[in-house]
Each structure stands twice: as structure tokens, then as C-alpha cells.
Amino acid sequence: MHLLLMEDEPGIARFVKQGLEEEGYTVDVADNGPDGLARALAQPYSLLLLDWMLPGLTGLEVCRQLRGQGVGAPIIFLTAKDTVPDTIAGLQAGANDYIKKPFHFEELLERIRVQLRAAGPAGGPTERFSVGPIVLDVATHQVHKDDEEIALTQKEFALLEYLLRHKGKVCRRQSIIENVWDIHFEYNTGVLDVYMNALRKKLHLSKDDDYLQTIRGIGYVARD
């Protein structure tokens, strides 16, 4: 799942981003309203976390503009404002939920899960990807091969999703590390091989039906 966090307090942004990434989510951060609005309009996100008091453009106005331009992803407000009028204003602007600062991370995580389940396939970007008999459903976080459900870890799921989103295109090792592990510095990419081997094993892929192919010295590609 790809989430967008709009939060101008660096400490809160780091805390939320790190916690969500440890749970397997991919998280982009915007520290002001105009940047957050532009990001949310430029690409589809599964869910948006929106601070009320953003510089440049308030969270309330960002929410209104997103809904006015047809963005249907769930929106959760993170805010110190907790009066009844504030809550009503947020919901009327199009927010799906509202959590008051300071909050426990576990509560935020469960609220995110509830909204993603409620959104279903229509809540985010293209929700199903496939290669051969393998089908990955982003909304339900499930993977099936020949109608058998395959249990994957969060990172294995994220790795498979990245490859399937780019099916037919060679994904370079460093690009995979940057996008799946969110590591943007020189890093031993050997961990990628470990995860790929585990993923192939769980998907029961053989040399004859290896839909996740190795491009030696470059990376991997998902091909039918």
C-alpha cells in the first residue's frame, strides 16, 4: 500500500513514517499543503493522512480540493482540533476519519486498516496485478496462484507488487531496494536475492515456469 502523509512537524512525520514502513507500507511525506495537494493529484495513493494545520494551504482546504477533483482515496485527519464543529467541518470536507493528537500509533494503524478494508478495490489505484497464474490483490493484501492463497510477509508482498506493477520491464536492483526497502544510499543488495529466493519458493516457481526472471548483473523482471 502506498500512503501519503501531509505533516509539517518533523518529529511526528518521522515517527509515523517509520512506524508505517515497519508495517510494510510505502510512505511519501509532504510538509506543506501545496506540495501535498500536488503529490496527491499527480499519482494515486491508497490512503492519505492529513494534518489540519499545514503551511501554505490548510488540510481542510486540501481535502476539499482533492474531493472536488475526484480523488476517492480514504482521508484521515491528524489534528489537535477536537471540537464538534471542527469534526463536522472535516467530515463535510470529505474526510473519512479523524484522530486527535497526540495519538497511540497502534490506534492510527488500526484506523488505517479499517479504512483500507472499507475502501475495497475502488479505494486506490489499479488493485489487481497478475503474471501467469499469479494474482496479487492490493486491496485485500492477498496473493493467489492457481486459486491457492499464498502467505507472504509484508516485504515479500511489497517486492512482488513492485515487480508486477512493472511487468515486462526490467527492474534494476538498486531501484528495487530504493522503492521496496526505501534505502536511498549505497547498500549491499544481496538481501534482495534472499527475498527473491524465498518468494519463488513460496510461489512454487520452477525453471520452466519462472515468471520472476533474473537479469544477470542488472535486476529482475516479471514476465508471462
The pLDDT value given to residue 124:
44
Alpha-carbon span 61 to 172, nearest angstrom: 39
Instruction: Say what the pLDDT of residue 215 is.
Output: 92
User: Can you give the pLDDT at residue 123?
Assistant: 43
Angle in degrees, CA 42, 161, 11, rounded to 5: 60
DSSP for 71-104, written as a single string? --S-EEEEES--SHHHHHHHHHTT-SEEEESS--
pLDDT of residue 116: 87
Residues forming CATH 1.10.10.10 domain(s) in the chain: 128-222
pLDDT above 60 for 224: yes
Give dist(CA 101, CA 27) in Å, integer.
19
Intervals of CATH 3.40.50.2300 along the chain: 2-123
pLDDT at 122: 44
Query: pLDDT-derived band of residue 185, with 50, 70 and 90 as boundaries?
Result: low
Question: Which residues are CB-neighbours of 209 under 8 A, at least 6 positions away?
Answer: 132
Instruction: Read off the pLDDT of residues 69-121 as tens digits, 9 standing for 90 and up.
Output: 888 889 999 887 766 777 777 788 888 888 888 888 999 998 898 888 877 65
More confident call, 202 vs 69: 202
CA-CA distance, 124 to 74, in Å (whole number)?
8
Greatest CA separation for the chain: 62
What CATH architecture applies to the domain 128-222? Answer: Orthogonal Bundle (1.10)
CA neighbours closer than 13 Å in the CB half-sphere of residue 214: 13
Strands 47-51, 75-79: parallel, antiparallel or unpaired by DSSP? parallel
Q: Who contacts 86 (Cβ-Cβ below 8 Å, separation ≥6)? A: 52, 79
Helix (H) or strand (E) holding 57: none
Asked if residues 93 and 67 have their Cβ atoms less than 8 Å apart, the reply is: yes
Q: Name the CATH code of domain 2-123 (choices 3.40.50.300, 3.20.20.80, 3.40.50.2300, 3.40.50.12280).
A: 3.40.50.2300
Query: Residue 219 corresponds to which amino acid?
Result: G
Mean pLDDT for the chain overall: 86
Q: What spatial distance separates the first Cα and last Cα of the chain, rounded to whole Å? A: 24
User: What confidence score (pLDDT) does residue 203 get?
Assistant: 94
Q: Choose between 138 and 35: higher pLDDT.
A: 35
- pLDDT level of residue 125 (50, 70, 90 thresholds): very low
Q: At what angle do helices 154-165 and 173-180 cross, to 10 degrees?
A: 130
Are the C-beta atoms of 143 and 135 separated by less than 8 Å? yes
Tens digits of per-residue pLDDT, 151-166?
Answer: 988 889 889 998 998 8
